[in-house]
Structure 1
């Protein structure tokens, strides 16, 4: 019985070994064009209204 347990334990350890190297991730981000947020006004130029929906 102990021989079988030892054999299956060794088989389990041998089968769990890592053989492959992980794939390197590729950079799939698109190229940046223009300046981001060019159409956003300055904070001092913004007029913001708050609506109270409970009233």
Structure 2
């Protein structure tokens, strides 16, 4: 939970709707938007990393 708290503090928005003990937490709409943005950008980052690896010396 410490990492989530730190992320929430850095981003300035809650990522989870906290529930009472024993009940499931739910993602906030902000967390849903952040996750969607990350999913869109990850393939681009992976593609760039693969391109760098294939052009590095010794490959």
Larger relative contact order, structure 1 or 2 (CA cutoff 8 Å, min sep 6): 2
TM (norm. structure 1) is 0.32
TM-score, normalisation: structure 2: 0.30
More helix by share: 2
Larger radius of gyration: 1
* Structure 1 or 2: more strand by fraction: 2
